[in-house]
Structure formats: C-alpha cells, structure tokens
C-alpha cells in the first residue's frame, strides 16, 4: 500500500522535474523540441481576436495581471466568464516563460512586443515593414510566421512579405 | 444488433444535445426586451442604423465592414473576422452564450456601454434579413 503511494509520489516528482527541465528547451525561440502546449479554451477565446499567443512569451506574473484586467485589454473589452478565465489563467501560468535561477521575472510588461527578447528577435525589421499593408500590426504574427496559429515560430519557416 | 443499438443511443444523445442548444438567441433577447412597456418589436431598419453609428472611435462596421456578408478585419490586430450575416455564415446567432459575450464586449468597445435588448434584437433582426 505504502509502496504504491511512494511510487506514485516518486513518479509525480519525476514528472515535475521533467517539466522544469524541459521548459527551457521549449522556451527557445526556434526550439520545436516538443509540441507547443495547447488548451482548447485558450485557443478559442484568445484566438478569437488574435493569434493565441504562446504562454512562453510572457512570465507568469504578466499573465496573471493580464487575466485580471480583461475588461480593459489593450483598448478593448475582452471580458470572459469566470470559469473560462480561470482555465486560461491556469494554462498560461503553468506554461509561462520561466526566469533564470536567481532572477526575478519582470511581470510589469504585458505587451509581448515590449519584452527584451521580442525586440532583439525583431531588431532587423524596419518600421516601414511593420506598417506595410501585409503586416499592419506587430500583433499579426502570422504575416511572417506561417505556423504561428499552431504555436510554431521556427526561424526557417519565416517568410517576410 | 448491439452495434445498431449503440449507434441509436449515440444519435439520441446527439439529438438531445442539439435540441438543448437549439433555443434561438433572439428569443431570450426578445423576452428581455418585453420587460420595457414601450417595446413594440424589433426593427431591421434601426439595426442597420445602429451598425453604422459611431461611438467613441468605432462603429460595428469598423471591423465588420459595411457589408456584413463579407469577412471583416479586427482593426487593431488585423485578424480576419468571419461574416456576420447568417446568409454568408450560418453559424452566426445560434449560440446564446456567444451572442451575449460578444455584444457585451463589442458594445463596450464601440459605445462605452452595454447595448440594450432592443438594440441587440434590432441588429440581429437586420443581419438575419440580409439576403445572400
């Protein structure tokens, strides 16, 4: 009886370790090491207005603060019923960007395009290109990342219009 | 035999499910509208006018275009929005929860307030009246 329980605990602990160990791999910009985590409620609700941005793009603190202010979501009302909001928040937090050991994540940034990594990944894109009709907005990931809807942003797939 | 029975049971479940969801979203809106004594039905004409009425910065047509048979585009994110007229997109106005969710959000975006049952009913009535 106890052995079974111990085994269960051990496997749960192992699973947890694996989650943490594999997170940095998945967090790499071009790392399609494993399929990106998905959730049907997140896909449906967040994907209703824009690409359902992958949880790994922001730290947990940012997601929590965003989910707490959906009625004022970048100039629009994106309010959700409490159940859907709780499901989405749990998914986002669980798969959020993890900070390096000893570093505190900056949860004050809510706009993905304002994060350091986004800026450095896109520093070669001119202002004119961002505003071109084919792109229109930095929110339009799929303009250059054809598999953005599927959560894949691999370098080799990029096609700048 | 057993297989047939299983398929029958599945079909019955699906039918029950679709019947449970089949309530017309406009019926609930109509019930709400009737609580106002002055209510005298919905008007496609008023719905069409509301579609073009500018609120803070936007109107419905900012994202959904002036022709609801056409796909629209989210004015901020650029995401394509499927047509709103059931003539082009039969899935529209078939799910009450979805209808209420989007009216609440979008009326706040456009008019800075929630829409009344009268307004919602007028718009749905207009969109449903549009021929392909």
User: Concatenated DSSP letters for A17-39?
Assistant: HHHHHHHHHHHSTT--SSPPP--
Q: Minimal Cα–Cα distance from A40 to chain B, Å?
A: 16
What is the C-alpha to C-alpha distance for residues A71 and B113, in angstroms, rounded to an integer?
Answer: 12
Q: How many structural domains compose chain A?
A: 1
User: Cβ separation of A140 and B79 shorter than 8 Å?
Assistant: yes
Q: Minimal Cα–Cα distance from B75 to chain A, Å?
A: 10
User: Cβ separation of B76 and A139 shorter than 8 Å?
Assistant: yes
- Residue A106: alpha-carbon gap to chain centroid: 15
Residue B101's pLDDT is: 96
Q: Give the CATH number of the domain where residue B116 resides.
A: 1.10.760.10
Q: Is residue B16 part of a domain?
A: no
Residue B35 has a CB neighbour count (10 Å cut-off) of: 8
Q: Is residue B64 part of a domain?
A: yes
Q: How many structural domains compose chain B?
A: 1
Q: Which of B78, B105, B108 shows the shortest C-beta gap to A140? A: B78
User: Cβ separation of A50 and B109 shorter than 8 Å?
Assistant: no
| A147 within 8 A of A154, measured Cβ to Cβ | yes
Can you point out the beta strands (E) in B44-98?
72-73, 80-81
- pLDDT confidence tier of residue B11, bands split at 50, 70 and 90: low
Identify from B78, B99, B104 which residue to disrupt to test chain A contact, counting A C-beta atoms within 10 A and taking the largest count: B78
Burial class (CB in 10 A: 0-12, 13-18, 19+), A110: middle
Q: Is residue B7 part of a domain?
A: no
Give CA torsion, residues A6, A8, A11, A16, to 10 deg.
-100
The parent domain of residue A55 ranges over 2-157
Q: Is residue B66 part of a domain?
A: yes
3-state secondary structure of B80: strand
Q: Is residue B3 part of a domain?
A: no
Q: Are strands B72-73 and B80-81 parallel, antiparallel or unpaired?
A: antiparallel
The parent domain of residue B45 ranges over 24-129
Q: Which of A49, A79, A135 shows the shortest C-beta gap to B74? A: A49
What is the C-alpha to C-alpha distance for residues B128 and B25, in angstroms, rounded to an integer?
Answer: 12
Residue where the block lists tokens 């969109």: B127
pLDDT tops 80 at residue A3:
no
* Residues of A in Cβ contact (< 8 Å) with B76: 74-76, 137, 139
Phi, psi (deg, nearest 5) at residue B81 = -115, 125
Check the CA dihedral A100-A101-A106-A109 and report its sign: positive
Both tokens of residue A138? 């930095």
Residue A151's pLDDT is: 86
Query: Which contiguous run of DSSP H or E holds residue A14?
Result: helix A2-27
Residue B38's pLDDT is: 94
DSSP secondary structure of A140-161: -GGGT-TTGGGT---GGG----
Q: Is residue B108 part of a domain?
A: yes
Q: How does pLDDT run across A116-153, given as a tens digit for each residue? A: 999 999 999 999 999 998 888 898 898 999 999 888 89
Q: Minimal Cα–Cα distance from A51 to chain B, Å?
A: 8
| A149 within 8 A of A47, measured Cβ to Cβ | yes
Query: Using only C-alpha atoms, what is the Rg of chain A?
Result: 18
- pLDDT confidence tier of residue A99, bands split at 50, 70 and 90: confident
Q: Which of B78, B101, B104 shows the shortest C-beta gap to A136? A: B78
Q: Lowest-confidence range among A12-16, B73-77, B126-130?
A: A12-16
Phi, psi (deg, nearest 5) at residue B53 = -70, 125
| A49 within 8 A of A43, measured Cβ to Cβ | no
Burial class (CB in 10 A: 0-12, 13-18, 19+), A6: exposed
Residue A17's pLDDT is: 46
Portion of chain A with pLDDT greater than 90, in percent: 61
């Amino acid at each position: 009886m106890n052995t079974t329980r111990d085994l269960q605990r051990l496997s749960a602990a192992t699973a947890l370790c694996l989650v943490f160990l594999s997170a940095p791999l998945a967090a790499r910009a071009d790392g399609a090491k494993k399929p990106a985590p998905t959730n049907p409620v997140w896909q449906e609700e967040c994907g209703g207005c824009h690409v359902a941005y992958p949880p790994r793009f922001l730290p947990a603190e940012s997601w929590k603060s965003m989910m707490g202010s959906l009625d004022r979501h970048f100039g629009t009302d994106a309010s959700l019923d409490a159940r859907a909001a709780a499901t989405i928040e749990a998914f986002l937090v669980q798969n959020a960007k993890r900070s390096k050991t000893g570093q505190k994540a900056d949860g004050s940034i809510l706009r993905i395009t304002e994060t350091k990594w986004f800026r450095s990944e896109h520093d070669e894109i001119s202002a004119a290109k961002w505003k071109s009709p084919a792109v229109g907005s930095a929110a339009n990931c799929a303009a250059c990342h054809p598999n953005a809807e599927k959560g894949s942003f691999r370098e080799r797939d990029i096609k700048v219009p | 035999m057993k297989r047939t029975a299983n398929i029958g049971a599945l079909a019955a479940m699906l039918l029950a499910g679709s019947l449970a969801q089949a309530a017309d979203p406009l019926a609930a809106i109509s019930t709400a509208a009737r609580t106002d004594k002055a209510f005298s039905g919905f008007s496609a004409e008023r719905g069409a006018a509301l579609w073009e009425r500018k609120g803070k910065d936007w109107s419905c047509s900012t994202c959904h275009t002036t022709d609801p048979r056409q796909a629209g585009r989210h004015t901020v994110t650029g995401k394509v929005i499927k047509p709103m007229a059931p003539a082009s997109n039969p899935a529209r106005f078939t799910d009450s929860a979805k209808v209420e969710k989007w009216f609440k959000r979008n009326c706040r975006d456009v008019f800075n307030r929630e829409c009344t049952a009268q307004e919602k009913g007028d718009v749905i009535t207009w969109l449903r009246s549009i021929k392909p």
